[in-house]
Amino acid sequence: MTRRRNERALVRPHVVTGGRAHPTRNVFDLVTLVIFNGDLPRRSGGTTPQAPRQPLSTAGLSPEKLRIIELCRGGALSVVEIAGHLGLPVGVTKVLLSDLVDDGHLTTRAGSADGRQSRVRLLQEVLDGLRARL
């Protein structure tokens, strides 16, 4: 008997999350930025050089979690972007992200829903400034 395409889609998210439907923390919306902790600036107190950070172990992480870490090493991504790259539903992605935040691999920052509009406005101001100078 051949497997129907929809059967795999119904089972896989359940398996990926270990049967959990909700994240352990509720800090994720669609535009929450997710950052790999290795990319964060290190705090130093005083003038003594800071000891190098010990890398967190990725042993035992699922392929999906390893893929999330790899995606976030390239820079901050929103929850919805990560879900798109993984090809997983946003709810499943939130569960995986929650696990990685709990384990210390990732951190989050509140995203800006009107960030695109702000960027467009900034670009328009730059363009207007350049036109005024030329």
pLDDT, tens digit, 9 for 90 and up, residues 57-68: 777 889 999 999
Residue 118: is its pLDDT beyond 50?
yes
- The rounded distance, in Å, linking the Cα atoms of 127 and 110 is 28
Please give the tally of structural domains in the chain: 1
Tokens linked to 111: 């995203």
Residue 24 pLDDT grade (very low, low, confident, very high; cuts 50, 70, 90): confident
Residue 16 lies in a domain: yes
Distance separating alpha carbons of residues 90 and 18, to the nearest angstrom: 16
Please check whether residue 49 lies inside any domain of the structure. Answer: no
Asked whether residue 87 is assigned to any structural domain, the reply reads yes
Higher pLDDT, 112 or 104: 104
What's the pLDDT at 38?
78
Concatenating the DSSP letter of every residue in 25-46 gives S----TT-EEEEGGGSPPP--T
**Helix-strand-coil split of the chain, %, nearest 5:** 50, 5, 45
